[in-house]
Amino acid sequence: MTFDPGREIRDGVHDAGWTDTDLWIASIALGGSLDLGDVIAITAGDRPPTRRQYDVFAVALNEHFADLGHDHPVPAWDGGS
């Protein structure tokens, strides 16, 4: 299966039970600089995230899953290739 960073983020947001706003806030807390509209475009599949954006989103989601006692289901960009 081909690594699709946009799909990985969309699946992570869905599995976390997060909204686009939740992902946006978590990414800002980690130093991300996207506005909410950019996050919505990425989670809607209108455009793919850059590698840096993906990495910030993946860390935010995986920290949330770790807080819940789960593993890190959103793979690193390199882990998907």
Report residue 13 as tokens. 């947001």
The answer to whether residue 72 is domain-embedded is yes
As to burial, measured by CB atoms within 10 angstroms (0-12 exposed, 13-18 middle, 19+ buried), residue 43 is: buried
Residue 62 belongs to some domain of the structure = yes
pLDDT at res. 71: 84
Residue, of 35 and 81, whose pLDDT is higher: 35
The arithmetic mean of pLDDT across residues 57-74, rounded, is 92
Q: Is residue 12 part of a domain?
A: yes
Give the tens place of pLDDT for each residue, 4-58.
Answer: 999 999 999 999 999 999 999 999 999 999 999 999 999 999 999 999 999 999 9
pLDDT at residue 81, rounded to an integer:
44
Amino acid in position 28 = I
Structurally, the chain folds into a number of domains equal to: 1
Whether 81 maps to a domain, the answer reads: no
pTM above 0.85, yes or no: yes
User: Where in the sequence is the domain holding 27, given as residue range(s)?
Assistant: 5-76
Quick one: which of 7, 4, 24, 27 has its CA closest to 15? 7
